[in-house]
C-alpha cells in the first residue's frame, strides 16, 4: 500500500484527487493539508510515501515545504503539482528536492502512474518535460549557484557520461542503446551515481548535472 498526503489550498482540488486515489486498491490518502506549514507537520507525523504538493499556497509555499520535508530526512517523496509546465516555482521545487512534477490538469491515469513511479523511486516523472523545465531556468541560474561541484569528483568517466544522458531525459533503455551497453549495466551505473552523490533519484541527478554545468541548456 502506497500512502499519500494531499497538499493544496483548494478543498475541491483535494477532494477530487482524493476520490481518484482512494478508488485504487494500492493507494491510500492518509492526510490532507491546505498550506505548506501544515504539510510539513503532517509529513513528520504520518511519514507518507508520497506528498502530492501544490506550489502556490498561503503560510508556507510548496517550495519551502518541500525543502523542509527533504531536510528533515523523511522517507516521503514529493511530487509537485503546477498549472504550467514551464513554471519557475516547479523548477525551484525540483532544486529543493522534489522528485518530479505534474500538471494539475493531467489525466487521472497519468497521475496514478506518476505516484506509483515516484513511490518506487524508479524514474523521474515526464523526463522530457522535466528536461525542458531545467533547460529553461538553469540558463538563468546565478554564477554562484553553478560551476564545479565536488560531488562529481567521485564519479568515473562512464558515470559522468551516463549522468549527462539522464539529465537530457533519456530512459535507461535509451541510454543503453546510445552507449551500446545492456540496460542492466546502465541501471547499475545510475544506482552508483545516486549512491556516490547522496542523491535520492534521477530528478535530483538531473538538477545536479545542470547546476554543475555537466550539461548545458540547449
What does the pLDDT read at residue 146? 47
Residue 153 clears pLDDT 80, i.e. is over it: yes
Q: Are strands 50-54 and 77-82 parallel, antiparallel or unpaired?
A: parallel
- Tell me if 159 is assigned to some domain: yes
What does the pLDDT read at residue 204? 85
What does the pLDDT read at residue 144? 47
Mean pLDDT, range 88-98, rounded to an integer: 84
Residue 145 clears pLDDT 80, i.e. is over it: no
Residue 157 clears pLDDT 60, i.e. is over it: yes
* CA–CA dist 28, 178 (Å, integer): 39
- Tell me if 132 is assigned to some domain: no
- H or E element, residue 111: helix 108-120
What does the pLDDT read at residue 6? 97
* 188 and 94 in a common domain: no
What does the pLDDT read at residue 211? 83
* CA–CA dist 90, 134 (Å, integer): 10
pLDDT in tens, 43-88: 999 999 999 999 889 899 999 999 999 999 998 999 998 887 667 7
- Tell me if 217 is assigned to some domain: no
Of residues 81 and 138, more confidently modeled:
81
pLDDT band of 120, cuts 50, 70, 90: confident
Structural domain harbouring 162: 143-211
CATH number of domain containing 34: 3.40.50.2300
* CA–CA dist 12, 31 (Å, integer): 15
* CA–CA dist 163, 215 (Å, integer): 9
* 27 and 116 in a common domain: yes
- Tell me if 131 is assigned to some domain: no
Amino acid at each position: 500500500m502506497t500512502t499519500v498526503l494531499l497538499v493544496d489550498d483548494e478543498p475541491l482540488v483535494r477532494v477530487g484527487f482524493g476520490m481518484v486515489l482512494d478508488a485504487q486498491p494500492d493507494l491510500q490518502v492518509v492526510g490532507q493539508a491546505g498550506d505548506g506549514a501544515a504539510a510539513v507537520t503532517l509529513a513528520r507525523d504520518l511519514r507518507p510515501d508520497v506528498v502530492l504538493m501544490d506550489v502556490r499556497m498561503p503560510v508556507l509555499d510548496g517550495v519551502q515545504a518541500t525543502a523542509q520535508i527533504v531536510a528533515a530526512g523523511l522517507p516521503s517523496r514529493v511530487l509537485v503539482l503546477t498549472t504550467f509546465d514551464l513554471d519557475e516555482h516547479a523548477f525551484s521545487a525540483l532544486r529543493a528536492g522534489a522528485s518530479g512534477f505534474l500538471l494539475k490538469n493531467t489525466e487521472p491515469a497519468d497521475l496514478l502512474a506518476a505516484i506509483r513511479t515516484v513511490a518506487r523511486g524508479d524514474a523521474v516523472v515526464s523526463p522530457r518535460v522535466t528536461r525542458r523545465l531545467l533547460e529553461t531556468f538553469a540558463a538563468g541560474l546565478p554564477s554562484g549557484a553553478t560551476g564545479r561541484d565536488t560531488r562529481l569528483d567521485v564519479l568515473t568517466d562512464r558515470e559522468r557520461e551516463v549522468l549527462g544522458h539522464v539529465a537530457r531525459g533519456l530512459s535507461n533503455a535509451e541510454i543503453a542503446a546510445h552507449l551500446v551497453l545492456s540496460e542492466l549495466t546502465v541501471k547499475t551505473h545510475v544506482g552508483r551515481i545516486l549512491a556516490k552523490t547522496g542523491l535520492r533519484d534521477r530528478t535530483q541527478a538531473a538538477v545536479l548535472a545542470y547546476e554543475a554545468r555537466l550539461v548545458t541548456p540547449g
